[in-house]
Structure 1
Amino acid sequence: MSDCIFCKIAKGEIPSKKLYEDDEVIAFHDIRPIAPVHFLLMPRLHVESLNECSEVHAALLAKMLLLGSRLAKEQGLGTGFRTMINTGTGGGQEVFHLHFHIFGGSAALPKT
């Protein structure tokens, strides 16, 4: 989508503090972190939300989860982290391009 901010980040049209990128996914630091370590992981492919995913996206989703774990450890979150996917307006999604929030590094994080 031409007006999607995350598509623009993936294309390099908007700068970001990247942690990782390849042909399928990109990871970058959140501009409004809620924890000492907080980054986003998203597919380059524009998929609006987790609700839009199907079996066709299974390999991509698995790759993102495994990569998220590896990147979290590389960012110093070896003892644990949180992974959050806001889905739809009712789920708090603000940018309608599938993305995972990965964060941690503080005992002050709320318990759920």
Structure 2
Amino acid sequence: MSLQQHIEQTLSRALSPEFIEVINESGNHNVPPGSESHFKVTVVSDRFVGQRLIQRHRTVNELLADELAGPLHALALHTLSPEEWFERAGQVAASPPCMGGGKS
């Protein structure tokens, strides 16, 4: 199982999301081809209702603690309640371009 699939499965089991999307953005960074180190994660869950953004991110980081201690280098997190997802019409911000690592 790829790290991308593992992240999606782990978060799906724990958060029962209405929507989840895990995108491998490693190719946008200065890493070897085929790497799985940088991900954009969008999770829409009732679990986030009434939680501040920091608590939502802590929840995801705790669920992925082992991965963050190993192969997972960076997460761009978009953690939304179903109402917030509806208000945003199912859209999240695009990831900015990588600014480091000397990639041309």
Shorter-chain TM-score tier: 0.3 to 0.5
Q: Scaled by the length of structure 1, what TM-score is found? A: 0.35
More helix by share: 2
